[in-house]
Structure 1
Amino acid sequence: MRPPLGSPWAWLPPATALALLALLLATGGNQPVFLALNHAGHAVPPLLWLHLTMFGDGAVALALVLPCIRRLPHCFWAALAAAVFAALWTQVTKQFIDLPRPLAALPLDQFYQAGPAYRRVSFPSGHAAAAFAIAGIWVMGVEGKRLLRALALLLAALVGLSRIMVGVHWPADVLWGMLGGWLGAGLGLALQGRRCWRSSGVAGWLAGLVLAAVAASLLVSRHIGIPEVLPAQRLVGGVCLLWGGREMARMLPQLRRRRTRSPPQHKAAPLEEGVDG
């Protein structure tokens, strides 16, 4: 399905991101806002922000897509397309804008920093792009369920905010990542609306196997670099692997029927009597 562009659910988040980004650039408030938010975040246990930031990791975001392979195939394919767009949005921007991270621009005693000590290519936030790509798919791709859509949007906002709270991104990084993720979700849903891909075929199964491998990697990987979130990371990976595996197993009978379905047999027209062949 195509995203309803006239709905505030579709246009309000990116419009908000653009407006806030323009305000930051116009006022030079990127650094002051970072410090204000980072200091305010101390009112919440740091462990909460570390767990929230985990959900913006690319592998975690992809693993979360796997369980919808059978029930929401349009969201499944749209999310994969959005992931490609969000990754390109992030990496291409980083090639042109090498903004130093807070750790390279400010003394460490001025703010709270946790996790890997990144110092370069701050702009934009890949975690924010991934979080808003997944949230955008749910918000624009699922009808009704307003409470769950609002919660998805709130969770994505908290994931983006967590990048400031753990001291690895500026507010402008998060807003640009948010914009890229949301645009990726819209393009993914529009592309799926045109192509109407199904997940019950061989291509869907192969994509599911790739995401299952990603989910399985979360059981052993330490790539996030935050030891405190390893139990939660493994829990997410295990749940997504088991849930997604169950959904894929329930798709097997349909896949077998599609593969064994033979083309219709055309009967030869009978010869007319009295006509010599």
Structure 2
Amino acid sequence: MAPPLRSPWVWLPPAVALALLALVLATGANRAAFLALNHAGHPLGPLFWLHLTMLGDGAVALALVLPSIRRVPHCFWAALAAAVFAGLWTQVTKQLMDVPRPLAVLGPDQFYQAGPAYRRVSFPSGHAAAAFATAGIWCMGVAGSRLLRALLLLLATLVSLSRIMVGVHWPVDLLWGMVGGWLGAWLGLAMHGRWGWRTSGVGGFLAGLLLAGVAAALLVSSHIGIPAVLPAQRAIGCVCLVWGIWEMAHMLPRLRWRQQIKGKTDG
């Protein structure tokens, strides 16, 4: 079953993002908003924002999905579907609109920049899409308190804002990415509600192995390009890998049982 559209937890986050996007475009405040936010976040220091921006990396977001494989399989499958949709949302738009990044438009003395010095394909933000896809899965797919949902939304917003704070994205990039991520989360949950995929079968186990490979890659990869966050990246990869393998190991008896039943039926 798709998350009910009448719930404000479903429609309000993307509606707010679209309203802000329309406001920024109508007023031409994209550059001014970027500079104001970039300078306002500077007192917290680059390490704070660099670690938050790491959480929006696609590989990190996928690794964080792995521990849910056994206990909340609908979120596991919905997250994989959302990752595909959010990836297409961002990459197709980037190919159609090669918007220059702040470093290609503004002088380096005008704002604070940390991490890789990107200059092209700014619109939209893949980190914002990943953060809001992940938050959307849990806000819409798992019953929880309003406080927990609000905290998840706050974290996703901070991860998105970190892209402005490290100087690599404009506000409109974040807002369009947020919409795509949230829409991907809703579609992923709707698809699972329609087809009811299980993780206890061979397909679910293979998907788990794929994400285990992603988590393992975080232990050695430096693809994010930010040396300061490598310890945290590797810690996340290690925790997700061990936890995910533990959950998958508990799935094996059910998997064997299902295969035995199928073998007797076929015989």
Scaled by the length of structure 1, the TM-score of the pair is 0.94
- Whether 2:84 is the aligned partner of 1:84: answer yes
SS at match of 2:109: helix
Distance 1:264 1:69 in 2: 27
* Alpha-carbon distance, 1:149 to partner: 1.7
* Alpha-carbon distance, 1:4 to partner: 1.9
Distance 1:162 1:249 in 2: 36
Q: Unpaired segments of 5 or more residues in structure 2?
A: none
Judged with a 3 Å threshold, the aligned counterparts in structure 2 of structure 1 residues 103 and 198 are, in CA distance, closer, same or farther, namely: same
Distance 1:202 1:150 in 2: 36
* Alpha-carbon distance, 1:145 to partner: 3.0
Judged with a 3 Å threshold, the aligned counterparts in structure 2 of structure 1 residues 265 and 88 are, in CA distance, closer, same or farther, namely: closer
Distance 2:265 2:71 in 1: 30
The amino acid that maps onto 1:125 is S
Give the count of matched residue pairs.
Answer: 266
Distance 1:193 1:149 in 2: 21
The amino acid that maps onto 1:49 is W
* Alpha-carbon distance, 1:143 to partner: 1.1
The amino acid that maps onto 1:97 is M
The amino acid that maps onto 1:82 is A
Aligned to 2:10: 10
Distance 2:144 2:116 in 1: 39
Aligned to 2:109: 109
Aligned to 1:146: 146
The amino acid that maps onto 2:231 is P
Where does 1:233-252 land on structure 2 (aligned, <5 Å)? 233-252=233-252
Distance 1:184 1:16 in 2: 16
Distance 1:166 1:225 in 2: 13
Distance 1:178 1:90 in 2: 10
* Alpha-carbon distance, 1:265 to partner: 9.2
Where does 1:30-69 land on structure 2 (aligned, <5 Å)? 30-69=30-69
Distance 2:113 2:4 in 1: 39
* Alpha-carbon distance, 1:264 to partner: 4.8
* 1:146-186 superposed Cα distances (whole Å, 9 cap, x missing partner): 32222111110000000000000000000000000000000
The amino acid that maps onto 1:132 is F
- Whether 2:133 is the aligned partner of 1:133: answer yes
Scaled by the length of structure 2, the TM-score of the pair is 0.98
Distance 1:6 1:263 in 2: 46
* 1:185-230 superposed Cα distances (whole Å, 9 cap, x missing partner): 0000000000000000000000000000000000000000000000
Quote the RMSD (CA, aligned, Å). 1.1
Distance 1:152 1:73 in 2: 19
* 1:107-165 superposed Cα distances (whole Å, 9 cap, x missing partner): 00000001111000000000000000000000000013332222111110000000000
The amino acid that maps onto 1:154 is L
Aligned to 1:156: 156
**More helix by percentage:** 2
Distance 2:186 2:222 in 1: 32
The amino acid that maps onto 2:179 is L
- Structure number with greater Rg is 1
The amino acid that maps onto 1:171 is P
SS at match of 1:143: coil
SS at match of 1:66: helix
* Alpha-carbon distance, 1:69 to partner: 0.2
Aligned to 1:122: 122
Distance 1:54 1:43 in 2: 19
* 1:43-89 superposed Cα distances (whole Å, 9 cap, x missing partner): 21211100000000000000000000000000000000000000000
Judged with a 3 Å threshold, the aligned counterparts in structure 2 of structure 1 residues 265 and 221 are, in CA distance, closer, same or farther, namely: closer
Distance 2:65 2:148 in 1: 16
Aligned to 1:269: none
Q: Unpaired segments of 5 or more residues in structure 1?
A: 267-277
The amino acid that maps onto 2:24 is L
Distance 1:107 1:165 in 2: 16
The amino acid that maps onto 2:82 is A
Distance 1:155 1:252 in 2: 34
Aligned to 1:273: none
The amino acid that maps onto 1:176 is W
- Whether 2:98 is the aligned partner of 1:98: answer yes
